[in-house]
């Protein structure tokens, strides 16, 4: 009886005592949202009372919500840029945080074409770790027996840079995988993965992917779940397998590691894992050599119970492809997080992707919500809107997330729009609606309308000597083939048909566009090969007028009609594709280095 009461939770029966504690923690947090939020704000403001930032706004040591809300403005990254630049340049005084800034996390959101730099402090790693530690206890409620096997996860680190002042700047997951919290994590039977640390911690994406895939294939029968952070990452792994299965099977047949894997630490650890196994090599060859890759995940990893990938937000575009490769396995979206702050988790991981809601954990930061109303007039600094607290939200309404973090962001607009779908205890649950202003996204890249416009303008410069201009354009993220790529539809005005731009010039236009896109896009093209060459499809003259006619026939007003700068609606795609006169691709990769463009 006593054990049973320890091992029970309103969420379901925990798999073990450790899980029971985690589930109890979720209960406590969600039942006391408002109190926890008050405490978190107090902790943050107490700790940062002496910072230049809070002093500038004369908070005078106050730690209550009313003072905070009345004195501290809501800001964007651009507002904080001067402070962030000073920290990057080596100013160690307490500008945003009283604790030393340990590093910068480079967000996939960009500002002026470069990744945003998010200052972070040492203790945040423990907070992230805490959120991770809640994921398996929830998963174990729905999928029993996960302690009887392993997870095949494709995790990667990326190149690091240093700011002028010497601080490391790297993506949050690179920071996490390199942390002691990850590298020396205690053994947990419910969370064993097939990839040894060495294979994850190799910055060369080919060697890292190759060795992780090899481990997954060798341990195929033990694999109970297959995953990556985002859906695009898992599909990239499948594409990698399509291109490299012969070499992988050969390694397994011979028991010797491909010479392309040169990292000594990977070679050393693979030597312990890789043994000749003719039978397995033949099985892989049989499965992979056919044209039909439908269900390949469950054919290669027959005990897979679910795909652990995020398919909400811009990743929803990959659901049909994942279903094709996995025979429709469940795709629990376990968590919602960002470089600025980890937010929360999905308490019903087996729900359909379209029904996924995340519960923000109130201990992770102080969260406020700006009611989202696109038709409302823009507000000014002088009359800022009232932000709501977690405990004040209403079901069915959309809000923009505004956060205050232990690392020193105060009332910072993340840019995510969330819809409240319900409550767990007192905690609102959110559907991720979208990221504001994102027009095109293949994986981590986020291209907005002004970036696309600038890219078009840059590329159009090449058309000048041919007396040609781009009269209209729209775009489309084509993810039917992996890696996905940007497609830009162009309608051209050619003034001198005898001297129209050649195919080679239009190919160069593709490259010129890529060169002017942001660094996350270019990194994906160059370092990760996770985005394919940009394509321009030139359409017949008059196509965009037809597009307008179509919109008007469906009820759009002629006065208010604007060309959509991104399209995905099938009839519109069909209309455009029927009128394509030529297709052009970037002939080479754009320029990218880990260093930031100043
Ligand atoms: P980054 O700053 O590069 O870590 O990106 C964080 C952003 O990724 C968030 O602000 C969201 O826009 C998006 N994101 C993170 N987790 C999810 C999720 N579970 N579903 C949809 N979008 C997500």
**pLDDT tens, residue by residue, 382-401:** 778 899 999 999 999 999 99
Angle of CA points 518, 524, 529, to nearest 5°: 150
3-state SS, residue 265: helix
Query: Does residue 230's CB lie within 6 angstroms of at least one atom of ligand 1?
Result: no
4 pLDDT higher than 80: no
* Residue 502, H or E segment: none
Task: From the CA of 401, give the closest atom in ligand 1.
Answer: 10
Q: What are phi and psi of 116, to 5 degrees?
A: -70, 145
Residue 38 tokens, joined: 């008050």
Among 432, 438, 520, which residue has the most ligand 1 atoms within 8 Å of its CB, making it the best to mutate?
432
Model confidence at 2, pLDDT cuts 50, 70, 90, reads very low
Closest residue by CA, ligand 1 atom 19: 336
121 pLDDT higher than 60: yes
Nearest-CA neighbor of 306 among 238, 254, 234, 241?
234
Nearest-CA neighbor of 223 among 319, 154, 135, 321?
154
Query: Does residue 182's CB lie within 6 angstroms of at least one atom of ligand 1?
Result: no
Average pLDDT over residues 251-280: 98
Distances (CA, A) of 561 to 438, 548, 555, 577: 20, 7, 10, 21
Average pLDDT over residues 564-593: 96
Helices (H) and strands (E) in the chain, counts: 21, 19
**427-475 pLDDT, tens digit each:** 999 999 999 999 999 999 999 999 999 999 999 999 999 999 999 999 9
Closest residue by CA, ligand 1 atom 17: 336
Distances (CA, A) of 490 to 53, 114, 351, 415, 475: 47, 26, 40, 30, 9
Nearest-CA neighbor of 316 among 115, 477, 155?
477
Q: How many CB atoms lie within 10 A of CB 162?
A: 15
Ligand 1 centroid to Cα of residue 289, in Å, is 36
Q: How many CB atoms lie within 10 A of CB 406?
A: 21
169 pLDDT higher than 70: yes
Residue 433 tokens, joined: 């609606």
Query: Does residue 308's CB lie within 6 angstroms of at least one atom of ligand 1?
Result: no
Query: Does residue 488's CB lie within 6 angstroms of at least one atom of ligand 1?
Result: no
CA distance 201 to 178: 7
Model confidence at 378, pLDDT cuts 50, 70, 90, reads confident
Nearest-CA neighbor of 438 among 340, 568, 539?
568
407 pLDDT higher than 50: yes
119 pLDDT higher than 50: yes
Model confidence at 1, pLDDT cuts 50, 70, 90, reads very low
Task: From the CA of 115, give the closest atom in ligand 1.
Answer: 3
Average pLDDT over residues 512-520: 97
6 pLDDT higher than 90: no
User: Edge-to-edge, what's the strand order for the sheet holding 468-478?
Assistant: 468-478, 485-494, 535-539, 580-585
Average pLDDT over residues 12-39: 97
* In contact, 525 and 531? CB cutoff 8 Å: yes
Query: Does residue 174's CB lie within 6 angstroms of at least one atom of ligand 1?
Result: no
CA distance 170 to 55: 29
Residue 55 tokens, joined: 């002093």
CA distance 478 to 211: 29
Torsion angle, CA of 449/454/459/462, rounded to 10 degrees?
Answer: 150
Ligand 1 centroid to Cα of residue 338, in Å, is 5
CA distance 351 to 348: 6
Nearest-CA neighbor of 390 among 377, 403, 409?
403
Among 76, 104, 109, 524, which residue has the most ligand 1 atoms within 8 Å of its CB, making it the best to mutate?
109
Angle of CA points 107, 169, 363, to nearest 5°: 55
Distances (CA, A) of 135 to 88, 130, 473, 487, 488: 34, 9, 43, 37, 39
Q: So what's the pLDDT on residue 368? A: 98
Average pLDDT over residues 61-85: 97
Task: From the CA of 358, give the closest atom in ligand 1.
Answer: 19
Task: From the CA of 310, give the closest atom in ligand 1.
Answer: 19
CA 245 to chain centre: 27
7 pLDDT higher than 70: no
Query: Does residue 435's CB lie within 6 angstroms of at least one atom of ligand 1?
Result: yes
214 pLDDT higher than 80: yes
The residue among 377 and 76 whose pLDDT is bigger is 76
pTM to 2 decimal places: 0.93
Strand partners, 400: 370, 417
3-state SS, residue 7: coil
Task: From the CA of 313, give the closest atom in ligand 1.
Answer: 21
Long-range contacts of residues 370-374, Cβ cutoff 8 Å, at least 24 apart: 370/74, 370/399, 370/400, 370/402, 370/413, 371/397, 371/398, 371/399, 372/397, 372/398, 372/399, 372/400, 372/417
Burial of 383 (0-12, 13-18, 19+ CB in 10 A): exposed
Distances (CA, A) of 578 to 35, 447, 449, 562, 568: 59, 26, 25, 21, 15
476 pLDDT higher than 80: yes
pLDDT over 70 for what percent of the chain? 99
- How many angstroms separate the most distant Cα atoms in the chain? 89
Q: So what's the pLDDT on residue 245? A: 98
What's the chain's average pLDDT?
A: 95
Q: So what's the pLDDT on residue 498? A: 94
Burial of 382 (0-12, 13-18, 19+ CB in 10 A): exposed
* In contact, 387 and 370? CB cutoff 8 Å: yes
Model confidence at 598, pLDDT cuts 50, 70, 90, reads low
176 torsion bin: left (phi>0), alpha (psi -120 to 50), beta (else): alpha
557 pLDDT higher than 90: no
Query: Does residue 229's CB lie within 6 angstroms of at least one atom of ligand 1?
Result: no
Ligand 1 centroid to Cα of residue 15, in Å, is 29
CA distance 15 to 317: 34
**323-339 pLDDT, tens digit each:** 999 999 999 999 999 99
Closest residue by CA, ligand 1 atom 10: 338
CA distance 468 to 470: 7
Query: Does residue 416's CB lie within 6 angstroms of at least one atom of ligand 1?
Result: yes
Cite the beta strand spans of 405-497 per DSSP E.
412-424, 427-435, 468-478, 485-494
Among 106, 313, 315, 524, which residue has the most ligand 1 atoms within 8 Å of its CB, making it the best to mutate?
313
Q: DSSP secondary-structure letter at 384?
A: P
Ligand 1 centroid to Cα of residue 218, in Å, is 32
Q: So what's the pLDDT on residue 430? A: 98
Ligand 1 centroid to Cα of residue 336, in Å, is 6
């Amino acid at each position: 009886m006593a054990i049973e009461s320890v091992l029970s939770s309103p969420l379901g029966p925990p798999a073990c005592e450790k899980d029971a504690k985690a589930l109890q923690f979720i209960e406590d947090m969600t039942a006391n949202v408002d109190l926890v939020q008050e405490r978190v704000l107090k902790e943050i403001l107490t700790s940062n009372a002496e910072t230049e930032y809070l002093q500038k706004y004369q908070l005078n040591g106050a730690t209550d919500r009313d003072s905070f809300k009345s004195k501290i403005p809501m800001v964007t990254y651009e507002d904080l840029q001067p402070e962030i630049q000073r920290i990057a340049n080596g100013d160690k005084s307490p500008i945003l945080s009283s604790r030393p800034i340990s590093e910068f996390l480079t967000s996939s959101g960009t500002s002026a074409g470069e990744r945003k730099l998010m200052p972070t402090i040492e203790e945040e790693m423990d907070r992230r770790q805490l959120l991770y530690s809640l994921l398996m206890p929830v998963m174990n409620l729905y999928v029993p027996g996960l302690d009887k096997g392993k997870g095949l996860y494709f995790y990667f680190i990326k190149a690091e840079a240093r700011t002028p002042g010497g601080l490391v700047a790297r993506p949050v997951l690179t920071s996490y995988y390199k942390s002691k919290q990850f590298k020396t994590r205690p053994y947990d039977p419910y969370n064993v993965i097939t990839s040894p640390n060495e294979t994850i911690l190799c910055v060369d994406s080919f060697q890292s992917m190759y060795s992780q895939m090899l481990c997954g294939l060798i341990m195929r029968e033990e694999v109970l779940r297959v995953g990556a952070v985002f859906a695009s990452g898992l599909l990239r792994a499948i594409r990698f397998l399509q291109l490299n299965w012969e070499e992988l099977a050969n390694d397994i047949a011979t028991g010797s590691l491909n010479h392309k894997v040169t990292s000594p630490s990977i070679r050393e650890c693979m030597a312990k894992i890789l043994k000749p196994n003719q039978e397995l090599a033949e099985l892989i060859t049989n499965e992979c050599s056919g044209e039909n890759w439908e269900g390949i995940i469950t054919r290669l990893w027959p005990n897979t119970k679910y795909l652990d990938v995020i398919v909400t937000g811009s990743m929803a575009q990959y659901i049909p492809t994942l279903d094709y490769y996995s025979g429709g396995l469940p795709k629990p979206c376990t968590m919602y997080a960002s470089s600025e702050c980890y937010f929360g988790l999905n308490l019903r991981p087996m729900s359909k992707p379209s029904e996924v809601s995340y519960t923000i954990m109130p201990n992770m930061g102080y969260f406020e919500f700006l009611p989202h109303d696109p038709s409302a007039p823009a507000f000014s600094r002088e009359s800022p809107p009232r932000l709501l607290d977690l405990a004040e939200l209403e079901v069915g309404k959309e809000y923009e997330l505004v956060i205050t973090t232990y690392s020193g962001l105060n009332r910072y607009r993340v840019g995510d729009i969330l819809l409240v779908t319900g409550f767990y205890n007192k905690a609102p649950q959110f559907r991720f609606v979208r990221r504001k202003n994102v027009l095109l996204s293949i994986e981590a890249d986020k291209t907005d309308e002004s970036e696309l416009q600038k890219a078009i303008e840059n590329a159009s410069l090449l058309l000048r000597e041919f007396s040609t201009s781009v009269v209209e354009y729209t775009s489309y993220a084509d993810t039917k083939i992996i890696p996905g790529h940007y497609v830009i539809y162009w309608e051209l005005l050619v003034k001198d048909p005898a001297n129209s731009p050649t195919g080679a010039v239009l190919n160069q236009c593709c490259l010129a566009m890529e060169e002017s896109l942001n660094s996350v896009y270019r990194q994906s093209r160059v370092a990760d090969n996770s985005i394919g060459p940009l394509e321009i499809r030139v359409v017949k003259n008059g196509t965009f007028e037809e597009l307008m006619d179509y919109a008007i026939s469906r009820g759009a007003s002629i006065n208010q009609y604007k060309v959509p700068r991104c399209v995905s609606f099938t009839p519109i795609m069909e209309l455009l594709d029927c009128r394509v006169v030529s297709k052009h691709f970037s002939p080479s990769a754009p320029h990218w280095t880990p260093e930031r463009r100043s």
